[in-house]
Structure formats: structure tokens, C-alpha cells
Amino acid sequence: MTAPDDLSRRGMLVKLGILFNGVVGAILAAPIVRYALSPVIRERRQARESWLSLGPLDKFPAGQTRLATYRSPAADPSDGETANIPCWVRHVDGDKFQVFAINCAHLGCPVRWFPQSGLFMCPCHGGVYYSDGSRASGPPERGLFEYSYKVEQGSLLIQPGEMPTPGAPTARLINISAGRPACG
């Protein structure tokens, strides 16, 4: 006959064995899953690093700031309108532009441009930015994030990079108030 103590000890050992096998299985599976997903990850990174057109230069008159939209390069067809990402384009002069992420540098609400006052304002907590994107007042600790851009064959191109949401890497976007990459 088996004593109840033996039974409970055996049961506990079986459970520990299952747990241990589960942990080892998860550790072994991680690199396999990463390898399987690597083409998708690589494709998305390449898409973020590619150049996208915001349209012909005459859409952006010199001395003005205009709203533009681009389609997220990482979008799926099922994403619909949500993959259309707005940004603010400031045409300083000639081939000199500034392209700002629409997201406030505080918590990411979309900022609006007010040409009358020459300021970007955030409706969420009152963050205010000057026309060059630098911080004017309110809770944001820095200026608006800025996209890399270039002018090519009469069009304005940007590198979309990663969206500057809290917690997300934003190494491709520039923190203009500090004059260095925003994170990382």
C-alpha cells in the first residue's frame, strides 16, 4: 500500500517536472519564434527607413505651415484610414523645410497649428510650441519631434521612422529642442 505522504510528494514532483519542462520549452522556443518572425520584422524596419513622398513642393508655399498626410509603410490593407498619418510641414524658404510629427511631445495628443498666433497648441494639457517646433510653454519638456526630409524631383520626401509615442523607440526622429535624437 502507498502512504498518502508518498502520493502527495509524487504529485508535487510531477507538477514541478511539468513546470520545469514548460520553462525549458519556452526558453528553447523563443529564438525559433524570433527567427520565424524575422522577415516580417526586417520588412517593417526597411519600410520605416524608406523615403515617402508628401507631394509636390507647390503644395507647401514658402513661409507657411500646412498639414500633410502619408500612408504608414507598416500598414496592412485592413488598417484603412487609421494608417493615414498626418504631419505638419513648415516651408521655411527655398529647399529648407521642417516636418513635424503631429503628436505632442508630452503624451502624444495631436497638436494644431494656429497661423494667427504662429503657434502649435495641444488641446489635451495646454502644451504650446513656436512655429519652429521648439517648446513655448506647458507640460511638454521638449519641442515637437521632427522627421528627416529631402527634396527630390520637385517633391518633398520624409523618412517616416517610428511614431514618437511614449515608450516607443524614436531614434529616427529628432528632438529639435535638444538638437539630438529624442531617445536611444
Q: Distance (Å, rounded) from C-alpha 144 to C-alpha 130? A: 9
Least distance in Å: CB of 181 to ligand FES?
A: 21
Q: Distance (Å, rounded) from C-alpha 104 to C-alpha 170? A: 13
Region of 64-72, 101-109, 146-154, 161-169 interacting with ligand FES (CB under 6 A): 101-109
Work out which of 47, 57, 83, 109 binds ligand FES, going by CB under 6 A: 109
Q: Which of 109, 116, 179, 175 is nearest to 142 (CA)?
A: 175
The answer to the question of residue 107 lying near ligand FES (CB under 6 A) is yes
Least distance in Å: CB of 157 to ligand FES?
A: 28
Region of 71-79, 86-94, 138-146, 154-162 interacting with ligand FES (CB under 6 A): 138-146
Region of 26-34, 52-60, 120-128, 176-184 interacting with ligand FES (CB under 6 A): 120-128
Residue (106 or 172) nearer to ligand FES, CB: 106
8 Å CB contact between 90 and 61: no
The answer to the question of residue 121 lying near ligand FES (CB under 6 A) is no
The answer to the question of residue 104 lying near ligand FES (CB under 6 A) is yes
Work out which of 73, 133, 140, 160 binds ligand FES, going by CB under 6 A: 140
Q: Which of 166, 118, 116 is nearest to 140 (CA)?
A: 166
Work out which of 68, 85, 122, 158 binds ligand FES, going by CB under 6 A: 122
CB neighbour list of residue 130: distance below 8 Å, 6 or more residues apart: 118, 119, 120, 136
Least distance in Å: CB of 83 to ligand FES?
A: 22
CB neighbour list of residue 138: distance below 8 Å, 6 or more residues apart: 106, 122, 125, 126, 127, 128
Q: Distance (Å, rounded) from C-alpha 16 to C-alpha 100? A: 54
**Which three three-digit cell numbers place residue 176?**
529639435
The answer to the question of residue 124 lying near ligand FES (CB under 6 A) is yes
Angle ∠(165,167,168) on CA atoms, nearest 5 = 60
What does the binding site for ligand FES look like in residue numbers (CB under 6 A)?
Answer: 104, 106-107, 109, 122, 124-127, 138-140
